[in-house]
Amino acid sequence: MERLRTVNSKALYEETKEYVTDGVGSYFHRAKYQDYPICMIRGKGSKLYDGDGNEYIDYVAGFGPMLLGYCPEEVDRAVTEQLKFGTHFSAPTRNLGALGKRLTEIIPSAEQVVFQNSGTEAVMYALRLARAYTGRYKIIKFEGQYHGWSDEEKITITANSVEELGDREHPNKIIHSKGQRLSSADDLIVLPWNDLEILEKTLQEQGDEIAAVITEPIMCDSGPILPLPYFLEGLRELTTQYGALLIFDEVITGFRTALGGAQQYYGVTPDLSTFAKAVSSGYPISVVAGKKEILGCGIHAAGTFNANPLCVAAALATMDALSKPGVYEHLDHLGKLLCDGFRVLAEKYNLKIYTRHIGGIFILYFGFDHDVHDFREWLEVADVAFYERFVQEMEAYGVRLTDERGREYLSVAHTEEDISRTLKVADFVLGKLT
């Protein structure tokens, strides 16, 4: 196999960084291990093409949105049609109610929806709603979970060691960025995930101050880590008992684990949930869904670009495409092929490899081969250095994986041929690295 040459990406990056801070649009686009990020020019189906004309089988999916693959025809058609009428009015449009109706049919907990532009904003809105509705101010969030980058969201999203996380029953609140106010975390309580005992104790002590518990139903942003049996049901029962709202952050799991998200997959209905990414195949729109009584409790969604007509058209077309028969069966089939393939490679190279798949999410990590239950355990067993080298080498031979977290995204456009090529490259790369 030949290493790809990426000299044009390097040149593009060198020029861009003169004018754009960090040389990237989002810090997550930066090259984590290489000297420069690969600049992408075009995508089609499961493939991306870079500035040097190299082809990549892509499992990054624009960090999740591209569940239908790149340039899905139905979405392109709907957006092109809307372009003829105008791109932005800041007024209600014909399709606004149609999209709202469609989402309430698809998302189990949705009686109504509110639109925002990004996952970060949707979570900010859900937290404000929870506080307005309950008249309480504290929010429980879990270690290692990412809900966005606002001051209050970017707390204990990661850690370098278990020591940094502090005492398990009263974890540290880690502030990650320069410039983030120290008071950002004043109204947050951070707890370890998958531990109903600690949660119950906290609710017993401070329940009458707690507006909401927010969680990803599958811990996707670190790990990923699956919920223990009855954990989500336990969250539902305890929050109801103590009068706090349960918020599922389904920015990643939404429309990926199942059409109705992880709440449908696990059969647990939160009071509020947030969606973004896969709702619209790459157009910036996000959703807060929940009970009418909560959404109508008197706070209002501002935002110049909220429910922009192009995004609404893209989201409607995406929902139609994902509703077609066979979509989730196809994703499941491909996920199983990848899991089985990596288990064979684990034996061949005598490596501990962890793989799981749920809908359009494929989990891959090194250093352990059993389910881990929280971020602390993950920090202790995960072989981060090996995963990083693996991702770097896979990219050099034309397979693009997420750079640190072991969460890979499948799309409807991936094929069995993509999977077998991916496994061949992985076989070659693991041979080099072991």
Say whether residue 118 binds ligand PMP (CB under 6 A). yes
The only residue of 195, 221, 393, 403 in contact with ligand PMP, by rule CB under 6 A: 221
Q: Tokens for 156, please give them.
A: 């204990």
Q: Which residue has the tokens 């606004």?
A: 96
DSSP 40: E
CA angle in degrees (0–180, nearest 5) for 414-419-420: 140
Q: 12-42: b or e for each residue (b if 16 or more CB lie within 10 Å)?
A: bbeebeeeeeebbeeeeeebeebebbbbbee
Cα dist. 347→133, 303, 356, 362 in Å?
A: 53, 52, 16, 19
Could you tell me the smallest distance in angstroms from the CB atom of residue 152 to ligand PMP?
13
The only residue of 119, 227, 270, 282 in contact with ligand PMP, by rule CB under 6 A: 119
Could you tell me the smallest distance in angstroms from the CB atom of residue 118 to ligand PMP?
4
Say whether residue 123 binds ligand PMP (CB under 6 A). yes
Could you tell me the smallest distance in angstroms from the CB atom of residue 250 to ligand PMP?
8
Q: Which stretch binds ligand PMP (CB under 6 A): 119-127, 305-313, 356-364, 408-416?
A: 119-127
| Pairwise CA distance, residues 235 & 196, whole Å | 7
Q: Tokens for 363, please give them.
A: 């989990």
Could you tell me the smallest distance in angstroms from the CB atom of residue 276 to ligand PMP?
5
Marked catalytic residue, from 36, 56, 146, 328? 146
Among residues 63 and 428, whose Cβ is nearest to ligand PMP? 63
The only residue of 147, 154, 357, 407 in contact with ligand PMP, by rule CB under 6 A: 147
Say whether residue 139 binds ligand PMP (CB under 6 A). no
Instruction: Establish whether 154 is a catalytic residue.
Output: no
Q: Which stretch binds ligand PMP (CB under 6 A): 115-123, 235-243, 362-370, 400-408?
A: 115-123
List of long-range contacts for 195-202, beta carbons under 8 Å, 24+ apart: 195/374, 196/230, 196/231, 196/234, 196/235, 196/238, 198/168, 198/169, 199/140, 199/234, 199/235, 199/238, 200/238, 201/169, 202/140
In the three-class reduction of DSSP (H, G, I as helix; E, B as strand; rest coil), residue 144 is classed as: coil
Stretch 198-217 residues interacting with ligand PMP (CB under 6 A): 216
In the three-class reduction of DSSP (H, G, I as helix; E, B as strand; rest coil), residue 50 is classed as: strand
Max Cα separation, the chain?
Answer: 62
Say whether residue 408 binds ligand PMP (CB under 6 A). no
Among residues 46 and 402, whose Cβ is nearest to ligand PMP? 402
Say whether residue 146 binds ligand PMP (CB under 6 A). yes
Among residues 276 and 317, whose Cβ is nearest to ligand PMP? 276
Say whether residue 148 binds ligand PMP (CB under 6 A). yes
Among residues 141 and 330, whose Cβ is nearest to ligand PMP? 141
| Pairwise CA distance, residues 123 & 270, whole Å | 14
User: Is the Cβ–Cβ distance between 70 and 43 less than 8 Å?
Assistant: yes
Could you tell me the smallest distance in angstroms from the CB atom of residue 123 to ligand PMP?
6
Residue nearest to ligand PMP (CB): 119
| Pairwise CA distance, residues 35 & 32, whole Å | 8
Marked catalytic residue, from 249, 374, 403, 418? 249
Say whether residue 222 binds ligand PMP (CB under 6 A). no
Residues contacting ligand PMP: total by CB under 6 A: 14
Instruction: Establish whether 249 is a catalytic residue.
Output: yes
Stretch 160-179 residues interacting with ligand PMP (CB under 6 A): none
Instruction: Establish whether 332 is a catalytic residue.
Output: no
| Pairwise CA distance, residues 421 & 155, whole Å | 39
Stretch 244-273 residues interacting with ligand PMP (CB under 6 A): 249, 251-252
Among residues 82 and 117, whose Cβ is nearest to ligand PMP? 117
Indicate left, alpha or beta for 300 from its phi (over 0: left) and psi (-120 to 50: alpha): beta
- Which residues contact ligand PMP by CB under 6 A? 63, 118-120, 123, 146-148, 216, 221, 249, 251-252, 276
**Which residues carry out catalysis?**
146, 249, 277
